[in-house]
Amino acid sequence: MKTIKGPAIFLAQFAGDEPPFNSLENICRWVSELGYKGVQIPSWDKRLFDLEKAAESQTYCDEVAGVVKSYGMEITELSTHLQGQLVAVHPAYDEAFDGFAAEEVRGNPKARQEWAIQQLLLAAKASKNLGLTAHATFSGALAWPFLYPWPQRPAGLVETAFDELANRWTPILNAFDDAGVDVCYEIHPGEDLHDGATFEMFLDLVGNHERCRMLYDPSHYVLQCLDYLHHLDLYHDLIKVFHVKDAEFNPDGRNGVYGGFQSWTERAGRFRSLGDGQVDFSAIFSKMAQYDFPGWAVLEWECCLKHPEQGAAEGAPFIRDHIIRVTEKAFDDFADSGIDQAANRRLLGMA
């Protein structure tokens, strides 16, 4: 069995224009002082990381890794959540998602998609240069506006959407395969890959591609009323990235899964800081140990109530205290009788 690595932290929600959040060195100093041992880096934020340079320059990647290492940490993964979203965008969301793209491709969906795909290809090269084995991203969505079948969905609509999603991602998956890096899709509402069933549909259409893998974040399953522990039983071999994020779901006679268009504080389902929600992390970390999860426990802070700096400060000890140092011996080894194979055969009446 393997002991999960951590605690680590996803830097996206903390990056800003003021110290200590405005450069990789400053933010690494801050999170290392909080007790983190790894950082997951958002590839779109040039205050922290230059994706294009990382894809082209091994020297730059060595410098980035050196900065992180100087604070006693490692890079866990790169993230292209925003760019991955733009690989597949339904026209209903064109304007809303334009802000994720470079200015020169905004207002041009075809150019934006091409830009997003190029970003993923750069991320494959950058991940290889950094010596990483997994990558975090979103799938994007073409079918999401048709999630609830009213009016009835036309026959073949979902199949057509998933065929196209697979066509767009297959060359990207091949590029990551060349780089020796798994593409780990965060299973997330708003993406076409939002639960186990949709992931299986996609995995089948990309020919069970060996680089098509999952990012596991139980908070998104709580808000869907999906069994996040059974999900680990089903998909543990496919899960290569782990976001440690808490959530709660408190439906009433007024508000349920869909949230009533309310603010995050007023929804039945809310993201919370670690320990403030309903996720059974003791059970999750036990299953991660049982199934030899090979990666990092990475805090993703999203909370509608608590300040991010408090969430980050509390997150490191929370994760550290939940990591199970796996045993190298059986608890009943003290009672080993030392009986050999011949004795075993006698005990079974086989002598």
pLDDT band at 244 (very low <50, low <70, confident <90, very high): very high
List of residues 6+ apart from 245 with CB closer than 8 A: 217, 218, 219, 271, 274, 279, 299, 300, 301, 302
Residue 233 has pLDDT above 90, yes or no: yes
Reported as a single tens digit per residue, the pLDDT across 167-225 is 999 999 999 999 999 999 999 999 999 999 999 999 999 999 999 999 999 999 999 99
List the one residue out of 161, 174, 160, 238 whose CA is nearest residue 206. Answer: 174
- Rounded CA separation 299/317 (Å): 11
| Residues whose CB is less than 8 angstroms from the CB of residue 79 and which lie 6 or more positions away in sequence, other chains included | 10, 12, 40, 41, 42, 43, 135, 136, 137
Distances (CA, A) of 154 to 64, 88, 89, 194, 199: 50, 20, 20, 21, 21
User: From CA 28, how far away is CA 67, in angstroms rounded?
Assistant: 8
What's the average model confidence in pLDDT over 314-327? 96
The predicted structure's pLDDT at residue 214: 98
Range of the domain at 56: 5-347
State residue 330's pLDDT score. 77
Q: Mind spelling out the 3-state secondary structure of 41-87? A: EECCCCCCCCHHHHHHCHHHHHHHHHHHHHCCCEEEEEEEHHHHHCC
Query: Which tens digits make up the pLDDT trace of 284-319?
Result: 999 999 999 999 999 999 999 999 999 999 999 999
Confidence of residue 336 (pLDDT cuts 50, 70, 90): confident
Q: Is 333's pLDDT higher than 80?
A: no
pLDDT bucket at 327, cuts 50 / 70 / 90: confident
Count structural domains, the chain: 1
pLDDT band at 150 (very low <50, low <70, confident <90, very high): very high
Residue spans of alpha helices (H) in the chain: 24-34, 51-56, 58-70, 81-85, 94-97, 109-129, 157-179, 196-205, 219-222, 228-235, 281-290, 308-322, 341-347
Identify the burial level of 306 via C-beta atoms within 10 angstroms of its C-beta, where 0-12 means exposed, 13-18 middle and 19 or more buried: middle
- Note the pLDDT tens digit of each residue in 97-137: 999 999 999 999 999 999 999 999 999 999 999 999 999 99
Mean pLDDT over each residue of the chain, to the nearest integer: 96
The structure tokens listed for 154 are 């036309």
As a whole-number percent, the residues of the chain with pLDDT over 70 amount to: 99
> What CATH code is carried by the domain that includes residue 206?
3.20.20.150
The pLDDT tens digits of the residues spanning 76-105 come to 999 999 999 999 999 999 999 999 999 999
